[in-house]
Structure 1
Amino acid sequence: MKSKDIAIVGILLAVGAILRYFLAMLHTPLTPNMIIAFYCLAIILIRPNIYEALGIGIVAGILSMLISSSIFPPANLVSEPLGALTCFGLYALIGTRTKLAPAVTTFIATLVSGFSFAIIAILLVSATILAAFHGSIGAFVIVFVPIVVITAVFNAIIVEILYLPSSRVLVRGQE
């Protein structure tokens, strides 16, 4: 990966982390993860190889874990790399087939990341979830699913809006 690409990834992850931190300051039980939108945008713009995409996901997972107010922050160390790999693979498949590829890719990557986070949390900290949600995993799921889906829609819109101007700026920088 070129140093310019590393700078782009760093800037986009920083923007996502700042937005995530701001949302975490609201102290809601579940916080939408804006880092996903920005690492998806980075992967879509620079088109890294699979190992670089995995690295982006790991860095995103560390950032998410450090600034998370979620029920089990270490789950981000698995969910974010899965989201990044989903973004990488899906964009490689549909990137040239539709103009909505950035939105579709980000939407699905957010779902993969969010639902894998939930599964890991349910498996590893079910006692905490039961205590927080009055003895019901179902209540956790009922609260969590809309947050993941709404975040996925929001992330898809953000990436679709930012993709075109961002790609134009990158093309100008190469001239």
Structure 2
Amino acid sequence: MEMEKRVVVTENEKRKGLNASDLILIGVLLAAGAVLKFFVGTVINFGMKPNFIIAMYCLIILLIKPRLREAAIIGLLAGAICQFFPGQPYINFASELLGAIAMALLTMIPMAIGKFSLKPIVCTFLSTLVSGFTFVGIMYLMYFSGADIKPTPLAAFLVIILGTAAINAVIVQVLYLPLKLALKKG
């Protein structure tokens, strides 16, 4: 009697790509993030405000658990949406790409206290930091290479990035469980 080799296949390896409901969720949440960024951004403007686009792609990645290349595409879509808002053009393509990839990688790490998942708050906080520091790093590189950019002092950016990361982390933590239950994801 010959023994067959056992192979463990994870859920992400079985999938061939994003399904239609995943694509709809991506579109709806990124659109909601853009609308919220536009309207809330005009109301809350004390330096630290949530970046709803980052919060939404973090939430998307938590909910649909995309493969790394799919997370990268979500990040590029988020970067494209950011082009419609005031700020330095094109930098968001890189910052949101790296933020989304960081989010996808971080979600692979087990993070729980008992049955309570810390992934939403921890992963979103760290991914927002990756996005924010990438943005600042590119902006300063452009400034020091002679681009016509007037960067904000680094200390001010640090406060803004940390504050935004904290706000985004709370938003995603609050929205994650209700959306996960409503969408029957896991």
With the shorter chain as reference, the TM-score category is: 0.7 to 0.9
2:178 corresponds to 1:165:
yes
What is the aligned length?
163
Aligned partners of 1:14 and 1:55: how far apart in 2? 15
Native 8 Å contact 1:102 1:163 kept in 2: yes
Q: 1:28: Cα distance to partner?
A: 6.0
Please, which of 84, 89, 92 is the counterpart of residue 105 of structure 2? Answer: 89
Equivalent residue letter for 2:60: A
CA contact (8 A) 1:111 1:148 kept: yes
Letter in 2 for 1:128: I
2:89 maps to which of 73, 93, 102: 73
In structure 2, the CA distance between the partners of 1:152 and 1:113, relative to structure 1 (3 Å rule), is: same
2:163 maps to 150
2:100, 2:127 within 8 Å by CA — same for their partners in 1?
yes
Most deviating of 78-87 and 15-24: 15-24
Whichever of the two has the greater Rg, that structure is 2
* Secondary structure, aligned partner of 1:14: helix
Residue from 129, 144, 154 that aligns with 1:141: 154
Q: 1:28 to 1:74 in 2, by over 3 A?
A: farther
RMSD: 2.4
Superposition pairs of residues 13-28 of structure 1, within 5 angstroms: 13-25=30-42
Higher normalized helix content (fraction of residues): 1
1:23 Cα deviation after fit: 4.6
d(CA) in 2 for partners of 1:7, 1:105:
23
**Distance across 2 between alignment mates of 1:113 and 1:169:** 28
Runs of 5+ consecutive residues of structure 1 not aligned to the other structure:
134-139
TM-score by length of 2: 0.79
Structure 2 residue runs of 5 or longer lacking an equivalent are 1-17
Determine the structure 2 residue equivalent to 1:137: none
Which moves more between the two structures, 29-38 or 105-114? 29-38
Structure 2 counterpart of 1:111, from 121, 124, 129: 129
TM (norm. structure 1) is 0.84
Q: 1:122 touches 1:129 (CA, 8 Å); kept in 2?
A: no
**Counterpart residue number, 1:122:** 140
Percentage identity across paired residues of the two chains: 37
